[in-house]
A and B are shown apart, each in its own frame.
Chain A
């Protein structure tokens, strides 16, 4: 019984071959990540210190720390979140829970997906036209953050919509049958069960916003500023732009400095991503159905 025929053996060989092939592809995929991280740590690790993080750049940005840029990034990301999260979540709730399934809704969904595909430099130019000039915010944290917000809105909308739609329809139907309005159903049953996914999406948005350079370089981030930003109408330095500047625009920067900046930047992004992954795992453990 169960003796392998020639055909079985061949099928097993082929199956093994494919497993190896796909495994190799996966290994190839993580290789760049490892190389990047390794290089950064190797070349820039020596830069990292409390001083580096919390002092200002000195001597034409060839020495000193990155504090204004770090703080600027925190400002930009926070204001961008304040703008994009309420807007994105509200739009997603509308599209997922209220909008009738017709051509208009489909067109809107398509537009959102396309918005995600617009190159960031185009968003930058839009930001200059709309926020810097038309609304008269000037080059400021506000203008830069709003540009970032518009750019990341599709991410928030799509991830929120997916989390909402992951809540089984039967729950909604059961609530409607009891005489609950759409909003009562959303508030008491849908949102509490989608909130984990929504937060995960938001954290991912933060990590993406942190690294963006193009959308902020014409709208609010500056080359160098001797002052720390005091409010949303100030200009600010930002980590991503600072990295670009010390790498290409300033002469005689010690080799380790840009690597140090890059290391901080990538660490921030990875931290956000792992937070998001950890959060998702934690909440999956608590899944209610």
Chain B
């Protein structure tokens, strides 16, 4: 069996003494979409922050436990910037940087040191196409990204994440600001991307996890209640009562 992409062992996170995540243990396999569902305050977003060590930027956030990426304990990483550049992140609300559409997508390649215009052009086009945005913006690449509509900005954010050429893509409730049709288009993109990269999909849409995720974890109040093959989770073969309640919409 192939070694897992990401191994999380005994991960706990607290903010100034208040624990938001208790003792999480899980593995994410290469080329899988790993879904995380759960109600608000389940610690999903904190979990993502710990993975790319954005926790370093928050002085009151304490992380304990081990996270291994490609087998390497991320606490021992020297070049955190290179590490973060291999992980794309998409937030719930789109963050169009105050740059042109083109520069939004060209930023990550530029940070890597790509300078040639052709190379950048090609990369921008490819990423925008993958994020299902190219057709709408190809004639106005040099207007500000922040002038796009919310849904377009979110696809721009996804294009930007892809421009990092990430090994791991973490989506945090990406579809909140996106209309259903676009959501479906992005979901198709994700299914295709799975062949090349690993995806962690945090979602509050239970059905989205069902459509996309190979395996799904249910987080509740800072604990990982269970992890299972998505189909098993939804058909009820392995199921905790709390998971069943959540999936069937009895709370959360």
B-binding residues in A (CB < 8 A): 100-101, 170-171, 173-181, 184, 188-189, 192-193, 288-289
Contact = CB atoms under 8 A, between A and B. Distances in A.
Contact of A179 (B91, B146, B157, B164): B164
Contacts of B98: 171, 189, 192-193, 288-289
Nearest to A102: B59
Contacts of B111: 178-180, 184
Contacts of A193: 98
Interface string B48-87: 0000101001010000000000000000000001111111
B107 A188 contact: yes
For A171, A176, A179, A181, the residue with the greatest tally of chain B CB atoms inside 10 Å of its CB is A179
Given A174-B95, A178-B108, A288-B144, A101 B84 contact: no
B133 interface: no
A174 B83 CA distance: 15
A171 B95 contact: yes
B146 A177 contact: no
21 contacts: A100-B59, A101-B59, A171-B97, A173-B57, A174-B95, A174-B160, A175-B107, A176-B54, A176-B57, A177-B84, A178-B84, A178-B161, A179-B81, A179-B82, A179-B83, A179-B164, A188-B107, A189-B97, A189-B99, A288-B144, A289-B96
Contacts of A174: 91, 95, 97, 157, 160
Contacts of A289: 96, 98, 146
A288 B146 contact: yes
B89 interface: yes
Contacts of B52: 177
Given A174-B157, A180-B107, 19 more contacts: A170-B93, A171-B95, A174-B97, A176-B54, A176-B84, A177-B52, A177-B87, A177-B89, A178-B84, A178-B85, A179-B82, A179-B84, A180-B81, A180-B111, A188-B107, A189-B97, A189-B98, A192-B98, A289-B96
A15 to B, nearest CB: 38
Given A189-B97, A288-B144, A178 B57 contact: no
Which of A173, A174, A189 is the most central at the interface, judged by chain B CB atoms within 10 Å of its CB? A174
A178 B82 contact: no
Report which residue of B82, B88, B97, B160 has the largest number of chain A beta carbons within 10 angstroms of its beta carbon: B97
B1 to A, nearest CB: 30
Nearest to A180: B111
